[in-house]
Amino acid sequence: MKILVPVKRVVDYNVKVRVKPDQTGVDLANVKMSMNPFCEIAVEEAIRMKEKGLAEEIVVVSIGPAGAQETIRTALAMGADRGIHVTTDAIVEPLAVAKILAKIAGEESPELIILGKQAIDDDANATGQMLGALLGWPQGTFASKVEKDGDTLKVTREIDGGLQTVSFGLPAIVTTDLRLNEPRYASLPNIMKAKRKPIDAKAPEDYGVDLTPRLEVLKVAEPPKRQGGVKVETVAELVSKLKNEAGVL
């Protein structure tokens, strides 16, 4: 089985981002960038499947600026086999990403595509689902457990009401939730080995996909500063405040 794992380069989860003064977005100058944590979980899951003998090859794809190559190298250092870097400085929305991935899936014929459920920069949570629709493949989103039984994939999903298990045939799409696994650290020997693993350089034009954004960002603003709370003396006072002031009861 071949597994395709798309990965996204995002602002590191530890960075406190600041809104640009002109409110067009957040300031990314000199900010630490890393692999999206959900994508790391996707890479880890693919590697574990390969280690169990369930997969032969793991191909990672990243669509983004030159720096995204570093993110691909990280995935290769974790244990993926080769990379595809679709280089673009444009803003790529989930639909454009899904369209490029659908074309790559056509060329590579993976039996499984594992993606992060969302990226921590814009939190769209859409690429996996759109890709499923474009390819007409079944999908198991928000996975906290993935089991392969012959040609069937059993995915445990984290849903609002608890856990749901779905089974479907391959090829298929899985999007990862936080509790699926704990990604490994890229070890130094593997970082050095990753240097020699191939990365194909591609451009969006190679796939004939129009990247023009379908969405328009009107304004990016800081969330309102948290106001100080009040202490209540009694439960009755609390209930009264919730009812009359907060209007939530």
Partner 1 sequence: MQNPFDTAERKAFRESVEAFVAREIAPFANEWDEAGDFPWELHRQAGALGLFGFGIDEAYGGLGFDDAFMRMDSGVTLAYTGAGGVNASLGCRNIMTGPIAKLASEEIRRAVLPEIISGREGGALAMTEPSGGSDLSRMKTRAVRDGQGWRISGEKTFITGGMKARWYVVGARTGSEGFGGISLFLVEAGSQGFNRTPIKNKMGWWASDTATLHFDDCYVPAGNQLGEEGLCLLAIMENFNFERLALASGCLGMAKRCLDDAIGWAKERETFGKPLIRHQVIRHKIADMSMRIDALEAYLRAIAWTMNEGEMPAAELAKVKVLGSTTAEFCASEAMQILGGAGYLRGQAIERIYREVKVMAIGGGSEEIMRDLAVKQMGL
Alpha carbon distance 75, 84 (integer Å): 11
Buried-exposed string 183-219: b where 16+ CB fall within 10 A, e elsewhere: beebeeeeeeebeebebeebebeebebebeeeeeeee
Helix (H) or strand (E) holding 238: helix 235-241
State the number of binding residues for partner 1 (CB under 8 A). 15
Minimum distance of partner 1 from residue 185's CB (angstroms): 5
Angle, helices 94-108/127-135, rounded to nearest 10 degrees:
50
Contact 69, 199 (CB under 8 A): yes
Near partner 1 by CB under 8 A, which window of 58-66, 165-173, 192-200, 211-219?
192-200
Asked if 34 interacts with partner 1 (CB under 8 A), we say: yes
Length of the chain: 249
Nearer to partner 1 by Cβ, of 2 and 48: the residue is: 48
Minimum distance of partner 1 from residue 198's CB (angstroms): 15
Asked if 187 interacts with partner 1 (CB under 8 A), we say: yes
Asked if 186 interacts with partner 1 (CB under 8 A), we say: yes
Instruction: Quote the distance between the C-alpha of residue 100 and its chain's center.
Output: 15
Asked if 196 interacts with partner 1 (CB under 8 A), we say: no
Residues 48-87: x where in contact with partner 1 by CB under 8 A, - otherwise, as a string: ----------------------x--xx--x----------
Minimum distance of partner 1 from residue 190's CB (angstroms): 8
Positions in the binding site for partner 1 (CB under 8 A): 14, 34, 70, 73-74, 77, 185-189, 191-192, 194-195
